[in-house]
A and B are shown apart, each in its own frame.
Chain A
Amino acid sequence: MTAFGVRLPGMSSLILWGLFWEIVGRSGYTFFLPPLSEVIATFFSIVDTPAFQKALTETAQAFLAGVFSAVVIGIPTGILMGKNRLVDELLLPWVNIFLSAPLTALVPVLMVLFGFGMKSIIITTALFAVWIIILNARAGVMQINRSLTDMAHSFGATPWAAFSKVYFWAALPEILGGVRIGVIRAVKGVIIGQLLISIVGFGALFELYSANFLMSHFWAVLIVLFALAFILSEGLAALERRVSYYAAQR
């Protein structure tokens, strides 16, 4: 983007909004919003405290385990649904219901079923991510060119070879798109899980800081969370761009 003939680097608008935040914070308009500089200073003061490190580890563990299960279950299920009419008829209504359902309302049920520990948090995370991954993998497989399927078949591909050498790769652009959206939803899932199920990880920090009106701490952790989600999503988007050269001509 250019403004007044000067070429601006990417994300310059963030500087503007940061400035706006700083001014509102300094004006003392509300205790809820301390100045950005104070938030950043707080971030550096808490980043190497044991409480923060513990929260980060707990959250990362639950998040990674949840995303991993969602990917490992979601991609094969989606491919199977795209390839098999019967499986598709059986599962599609459920996938669509859960995709749009308010999953937060299900969390108490999960607590009853799986207890108040890490397991329930991981399952909540996976539940937030898995449906969109399934749907995208399914859509990716369904748009595979008929002649590519015929090609695999006519050269004698076994079902496993067709899956691992043709269908997976042909659907990869859509699959990665699904994983990217799934990962963003998983961030929501892990925090909601930590807030509702057992107060651990970042969820515990949010609870602690907001209950004690430690607003600059609260915002510091929130910014860390936003930044992590953003980096994950951008990393996957970069991966997506690497396969996009063949997305247009399959």
Chain B
Amino acid sequence: MATHPTDATRPDANAAAAAVSVRGVSKNYGEVEALRDLSLDFPRSQLTSLLGPSGCGKTTLLKIIAGLLEPTEGEVEVNGKPVTGPGPDRAFVFQDFALLPWATVLRNVAFGLELRGVGVSEREAIAEQYIRNVGLAGFEKSYPHELSGGMRQRVGLARALAVDSEVLLMDEPFSAVDEQTRRKFQEDLLGLVAGENKTFLFVTHSIEEAVYVSDQIAILLPRPSRVSEVIRPSGLRTRNVSDIRRDPEYLDIVDRIWASLRSYVE
């Protein structure tokens, strides 16, 4: 159908580079301007962090991409298709886990599939596999209140992985777990990004965490929110997970980000 090959191929080329693109998104809550004219591309199969001080609208942006909030202006595209609401191409990992407290780990992990109408035996088989993958084998019959915070977030992660979406949206997923668990999570996340062919969007307020796990870091500044800088660490992905924190590039980027954020901290 396309008569101009250049026009026909351009969207495809874009789509190959960016799984998610945000174009000119603004969000107002009445008088309050949460986001103003924000544009950002999220490269496919990579992890992009949204980093910024609290109140900079990073969770708002993530929820707009998820289709849970509507932007006042602008649009979001996932694989070249405009977002009008939640869709099976995106899965969300919540800061406070958002598990069903009355359901077992197995049912919680399978719940995304249950809502999509997948049959019991099939969805439980898939869920069992992801429960093993996140290291919770043996806890299938446990209830969320019997698990530690870290284990609950593993359930939330397994639920998001089980629906096999191309894009994983993670809203400060490790902020409610203790420091040791958090470090283990960060290492596991690197394995996940390398192993699963998914695009990760990761909201965090921790500079170290963002530099440690990201292929690309978007720094958001508040009032009104905009992207002030996009940093792409070049050599960290090839390093061993336990050497990253000693790498000069890691230390430089952490310092650089702190230098640009410090004036925004009251």
Contacts and interface: CB of A to CB of B under 8 A. Distances in A.
Interface of A: 145, 147-148, 150-158, 161, 165-166, 169-170, 172, 243, 245-246, 249-250
A249 B116 contact: no
Contact of B100 (A154, A158, A169, A243): A169
Given A147-B96, A245-B145, A154 B101 contact: no
B114 A250 contact: no
Interface string B91-102: 110111010111
A148 B68 CA distance: 12
Nearest to A172: B102
B23 to A, nearest CB: 22
A155 B92 CA distance: 8
Is the contact region of chain A dominated by helix, strand, or loop, or is it mixed?
helix
B170 to A, nearest CB: 12
Those 4 A-B pairs whose CB atoms lie nearest each other, nearest first: A246-B101, A151-B98, A147-B98, A155-B112
A166 to B, nearest CB: 7
Given A155-B111, A156-B115, A161-B115, A150 B100 contact: no
B11 interface: no
Contact of A150 (B92, B111, B116, B143): B92
A155 B114 CA distance: 9
B84 to A, nearest CB: 13
A154 B91 contact: yes
B102 A151 contact: no
Nearest to B101: A246
Contacts of A166: 100
Contacts of A155: 86, 91-92, 111-112, 115-116, 163
A169 B92 CA distance: 21
A156 B91 CA distance: 10
Interface of B: 63, 66-68, 86-88, 90-92, 94-96, 98, 100-102, 111-112, 114-116, 143-145, 163
Given A148-B100, A153-B68, 6 more contacts: A147-B98, A148-B98, A151-B98, A152-B115, A154-B92, A243-B102
Contacts of A172: 102
Given A147-B94, A150-B68, A150-B94, A157 B115 contact: yes
A123 to B, nearest CB: 34
A150 B63 contact: yes
Given A154-B91, A243-B102, A145 B145 contact: no
Contacts of B102: 169, 172, 243, 246
Contacts of B87: 156
Contacts of A154: 66-68, 86, 90-92
Contacts of A170: 100
A158 B96 CA distance: 23
25 contacts: A145-B98, A147-B94, A147-B95, A147-B96, A147-B98, A150-B66, A151-B94, A151-B98, A152-B115, A153-B68, A154-B91, A155-B86, A155-B92, A155-B111, A155-B163, A156-B88, A158-B115, A165-B114, A165-B115, A172-B102, A243-B102, A245-B145, A246-B102, A249-B101, A249-B145
Contact of B86 (A147, A156, A249): A156
Of residues B63, B98, B144, which shows the largest number of chain A Cβ atoms within 10 Å of its Cβ?
B98
A228 B98 CA distance: 40
Contacts of A169: 100, 102
Contacts of A165: 111, 114-115
